[in-house]
Amino acid sequence: METITVELGARSYPIHIGEGVLHDKELLKRTVAAQQVLVVTNDIVAPLHLSALVDTLPLSVETLILPDGEQHKDLATFERIIDRLIVLGFHRDACIVALGGGVIGDIAGFAAACYQRGIEFIQAPTTLLAQVDSSVGGKTAVNHRAAKNMIGAFYQPSAVLADTATLQTLPPRELSAGLAEVIKHGLILDAEFVVWLEDHIEALLALDAAALGHAIRRCCEIKGTIVAEDEREHGRRALLNLGHTFGHALESLGGYSRWLHGEAVAIGISLAARVSAALEMIELADCDRIDALLKRARLPEGVASGVDVEAMLASMQLDKKATSAGLKLVLLDAIGHAVVKPAPPRALLHEVIDRHICA
């Protein structure tokens, strides 16, 4: 097991990464100290990992099994969690453990942030996407039908328990979705890591334990450092949204069910690169290199037929990086170096999207 610390002063917390951390009785005893614990998970993860976790936890705990899928990450499901906490008579010193992927972490984290104005919260991510990205950094939210993650809070967990053994049961599509966020971390600020990924993408797809361990640790290091510098995204943290302005718009247009989050982000990364090339910030060869890596990770890099480009541009205006001064985009001025820029003219965006993804 390896441990990385996210440095946030009094709210610093550890990320424990390794095979079997959810079966480590000593670790769970130290980490989950509350007397009242609710484990929130979904109907896909529950049969695979819930009973093992419940058996390993030091005290008897309550469980809540939600339906799987981004389309359930809404206020109605949030209210189900709150209702359950109330019925259980949970107090302010209670704890929620989120066992699952990014959806479970986001919604359970938002419930923890709001119940009695904030109770303890522990992330137990079981997907690659959650282990490399969404479980770290304290962004919690639910979706609005018009736009993604519009209702939420910055609310840090007290610990992250990333058990890499859970990835062995991950469906291939979910594994690829997680790789989109892994590739994103490299593109943002670690060109060497991109080269490493180009050398190890097949090993990752084959669930090679050493390769997965390295990728997860490197992503957590990159993300933890940026979050420590800029917790509430007043500046640098926005870089982590490479591909997300496009991706969120696609997810919303797809009713939060057509693409997995990571798939939409992959298309978004490809689009961000094409926009960067159109602005002569990078070469077209860089775009092709990025698309090739996404494709080898079995991600949709440039295929999104049937998307209404104008509807997509309208949805992008709701992006949280937009201010009253206009939309901003995370673009690349090199592989391994992202920057935040005011969006180029709408006509250019329209053309890039139209040419690239609707082909």
Looking at beta carbons only, is 98 or 182 nearer to a copy of itself? 98
Is 148 annotated in the active site?
Answer: no
CB of 132 to a copy of itself, least distance (A): 21
What does DSSP assign to residue 97?
E
Is 241 annotated in the active site?
Answer: yes
Between CA 64 and CA 171 the distance in angstroms is 22
Positions touching a copy of itself (CB under 8 A) are 34-36, 75, 79, 82-83, 86, 89, 91-94, 113-118, 139, 141, 144, 146-147, 149-154, 232, 317-318, 320-324
Q: Which of 16, 72, 139, 328 is catalytic?
A: 139
Between CA 273 and CA 312 the distance in angstroms is 17
What lies within 8 Å, CB to CB, of 199 at 6+ separation is none
Looking at beta carbons only, is 305 or 324 nearer to a copy of itself? 324
Is 143 annotated in the active site?
Answer: no
Between CA 4 and CA 279 the distance in angstroms is 37
Q: How many residues does the chain have?
A: 359
Looking at beta carbons only, is 133 or 163 nearer to a copy of itself? 133
Is 91 annotated in the active site?
Answer: no
Between CA 329 and CA 342 the distance in angstroms is 6
Q: Which of 248, 296, 320, 356 is catalytic?
A: 248
Residue 76, classified by CB atoms within 10 Å of its CB into exposed (0-12), middle (13-18) or buried (19+), is exposed
Q: What is the Cβ-side half-sphere exposure of residue 82, based on CA atoms within 13 angstroms?
A: 15
Looking at beta carbons only, is 6 or 112 nearer to a copy of itself? 112
Is 144 annotated in the active site?
Answer: no
CB of 146 to a copy of itself, least distance (A): 5
Is 233 annotated in the active site?
Answer: yes
Is 145 annotated in the active site?
Answer: no
Task: Report CA-CA distances (Å) from 301 to 1, 169, 287.
Answer: 34, 25, 10
Is 244 annotated in the active site?
Answer: yes
CB of 51 to a copy of itself, least distance (A): 24
> Which helix (H) or strand (E) segment is 29 a member of?
helix 25-31
What does DSSP assign to residue 268?
H
Looking at beta carbons only, is 217 or 261 nearer to a copy of itself? 261
Active site residues: 117, 139, 181, 223, 233, 237, 241, 244, 248, 261
